[in-house]
Homo-oligomer: A and B are copies of this chain.
């Protein structure tokens, strides 16, 4: 139906749309590690297929049908990540690249059965919601740890930065999905934070606090 390149563009447009009304050529070029001119070519093709709304120089948005395709790819990506962690015992920092390939396996029947096999998980290993077979999912309202104050508590539910380096750092600190934290102190000098987690004190930088997401 759609080529691998088309699927990757649609997924990228979807992810970039979260933060803005429309997505620019340069944003896509940066995310997809390609050149702006290549992006323009592909945008024309996706517009021809009515998967995006494209006005030259004005950026793009997904059409309803383009969004459906994008959400389906994200569903497959997150279900395969869940599979890799829960069934094959990979760590959460090891699965993204494999899922980048697996998300393009086309069979809907396969992914629906995989979903069932795993008990219809609602969140992937990074805390991101998994769309169901109709494309529906919970958008839980998460805040960065940095947004709460001393004596407030929260439960770790996601990450903003998905890089291997950040995930490995969190793993080492045991700052993983589901853990409860309490803010003990904010250091004035560099705004780093001291947390209590399972009776241990952990100090995290502002950078970390900005990228670790909690629900209250």
Contacts and interface: CB of A to CB of B under 8 A. Distances in A.
Interface of A: 84, 87-90, 97-98, 101-102, 104-107, 110, 113-114, 117
Contact of A90 (B87, B101, B102, B113): B113
B114 A105 contact: no
A79 B97 CA distance: 20
B87 A110 contact: no
Nearest to A105: B101
Identify which of A98, A106, A107 gathers the most chain B CB atoms within 10 Å of its CB: A107
B105 A117 contact: no
B101 A117 contact: no
Contacts of A84: 110
A121 to B, nearest CB: 15
A113 B98 contact: no
Nearest to A87: B117
Contacts of A106: 101
Given A98-B110, A102-B105, 6 more contacts: A84-B110, A88-B117, A97-B107, A98-B105, A101-B104, A101-B107
Contacts of A104: 101
Nearest to A107: B98
B101 A113 contact: no
Contacts of A107: 97-98, 101
Contact of A89 (B102, B105, B113): B113
A91 to B, nearest CB: 12
Contacts of A105: 98, 101-102
14 contacts: A84-B110, A87-B117, A88-B110, A88-B113, A88-B114, A89-B113, A90-B113, A97-B107, A98-B105, A98-B110, A101-B104, A101-B105, A101-B107, A102-B105
A128 to B, nearest CB: 20
Contacts of A90: 113
A158 to B, nearest CB: 24
A29 to B, nearest CB: 24
Contacts of A110: 84, 88, 98
